[in-house]
């Protein structure tokens, strides 16, 4: 963690994929402090800011982010759930913000899982198209949108592993999670996936 002993890892676990690619799980933490090429904003369809991660990113990044969001809205209208767009990072340490709209949870019967997976795939794809080597995700849809963390985590992790394995430029994904229960849910999801054949193979390295 920032400001701590340099020998202390800043991740709980790290997944080691082929070709030197990694996925890290970190928390409790503030995603607005990330130095990855982009951070992902759990936005709403209006792209005009809101609460939670969305509000924190706009507050930390300043008015340049909202100005570019307004330009995007003028071009495309509301951003559909599962899609992603990119703006400047403004005053953030990250150069870019990738805005994606997660699904509102309705019991899992309205393709929420498919939409949540699309959020992660589209965000990684967009970062790759802009030549970025890293990006950081929050726990999309698990706040005000009501997605149970235990259900969201396996979808987020599996879609990130699959998409990261297929793109040429992005080398690192970080899940920057707000609290310990969320971090534990994502770590459990990764550990279970390591024993499955549903995603490209990876090894697990534990932090200390």
Question: Residue 99: which CATH number?
Answer: 3.40.220.10
- Is there a domain that residue 201 lies in? yes
Q: What percent of the chain has pLDDT over 90?
A: 89
- Smallest CA-to-CA distance from 27 within 162, 164, 142 is with 142
Q: Whole domain around residue 96: which residue ranges?
A: 13-206
Q: Is the pLDDT of residue 160 over 50?
A: yes
- Is there a domain that residue 113 lies in? yes
What domain count does the chain have? 1
- Is there a domain that residue 85 lies in? yes
β-bridge pairing 134-137 and 38-43? parallel
- Is there a domain that residue 4 lies in? no
Q: Is the pLDDT of residue 52 over 60?
A: yes
- Is there a domain that residue 7 lies in? no
Q: pLDDT-derived band of residue 51, with 50, 70 and 90 as boundaries?
A: confident
Q: Spot the catalytic one: 5, 10, 30, 54.
A: 54
- Is there a domain that residue 115 lies in? yes
Q: What is the pLDDT at residue 2?
A: 29
Assign 3-class secondary structure to 12-68: CEEEECHHHCEEEEECCCCHHHCCCCEEEEEECCCCCCCCHHHHHHHHHHCHHHHHH
Catalytic site includes residue 54: yes
The pTM of the full predicted model, rounded to 2 decimals, is 0.93
- Is there a domain that residue 5 lies in? no
Q: What is the pLDDT at residue 184?
A: 96
Give the whole-angstrom CA distance, residue 207 versus residue 3. 17
- Is there a domain that residue 25 lies in? yes
- Give the residue ranges of DSSP H helices in the chain: 52-61, 63-76, 112-129, 149-164, 180-193
């Amino acid at each position: 963690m920032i400001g701590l002993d340099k020998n202390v890892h800043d991740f709980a676990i790290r997944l080691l994929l082929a070709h030197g690619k990694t996925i890290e799980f970190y928390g409790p933490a503030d995603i607005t402090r990330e130095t990855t090429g982009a951070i992902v904003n759990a936005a709403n369809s209006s792209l005009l800011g809101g609460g939670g991660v969305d509000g924190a990113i706009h507050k930390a990044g300043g008015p340049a982010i909202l100005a570019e969001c307004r330009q995007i809205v003028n071009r495309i209208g509301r951003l559909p759930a599962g899609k992603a767009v990119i703006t400047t990072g403004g005053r953030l340490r990250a150069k870019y913000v990738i805005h994606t709209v997660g699904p509102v949870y309705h019991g899992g019967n309205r393709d929420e899982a498919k939409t949540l997976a699309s959020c992660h795939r589209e965000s990684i794809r967009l970062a790759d198209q802009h030549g970025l080597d890293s990006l950081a995700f929050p726990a999309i849809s698990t706040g005000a949108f009501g997605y149970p963390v235990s259900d969201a985590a396996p979808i987020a992790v599996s879609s990130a592993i699959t998409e990261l394995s297929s793109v040429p430029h992005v080398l690192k994904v970080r899940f920057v999670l707000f609290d310990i229960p969320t971090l534990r849910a994502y770590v459990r999801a990764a550990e279970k996936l390591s024993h499955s054949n549903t995603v490209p193979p990876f090894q697990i390295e534990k932090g200390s």
